[in-house]
Structure 1
């Protein structure tokens, strides 16, 4: 078994921000979960994954680097783990420039996976740094939704 990430959230019509979890699984099977979300309030229902700038990241399999880079972009304003492939293309649309970052501005995201509390975000970054020191350059990320 290797390190991997799983983002899971329910997609449904709702007037409030829907939260899910980002789970980091270690080779020994231990799991650390973080409060996370993707998409904007009222844009987190089935089919919204292809709405640019509002909907959540499309379900699927991705890779993320264990080392982030810094972005000054409003809403990110800090470390950014860039998700690949980029762009994500289907017959339903195109999504690009997605990543994992702290939910720094308005609650929710334009499609990225955002961690909702500062303490969790800092611990996630520390754990990713420790994994990078093991020589691991990227981790698999799976995005799953219930309610689809």
Structure 2
């Protein structure tokens, strides 16, 4: 049923869902008890409208409370943004440090690869020189006679 509130009142729908109604509110309800009591007590009258139910204009206090809540939320978001900016800067510094470390490891790896090549070349030269050298002598027996 469609009602128009003639005065401010509240009603507990289903015994627990308390709703506030203000004078002039358009109420569309299937709550037969509320409809009967509101009409009997003169809190509301039967209304008939085709246009959508308009939103009640907020009071000055409601607007101020909403503004204050928005300002608080804005301050919280600003603080969070500042924390995130600091964290981003710290993350960037860490990323730069890790990039330098990676470059250092890459340079060390290149030096190690070069040293490994040089060691292999030195080992091959040593093995070739060893193979070409005469056998060592002990100074005893046959080695003396051959000398």
TM class, shorter-chain normalised?
Answer: under 0.3
- TM normalised by structure 1 equals 0.22
Larger radius of gyration: 2
- TM normalised by structure 2 equals 0.22
Structure with the larger helix share: 2
Structure with the larger strand share: 1
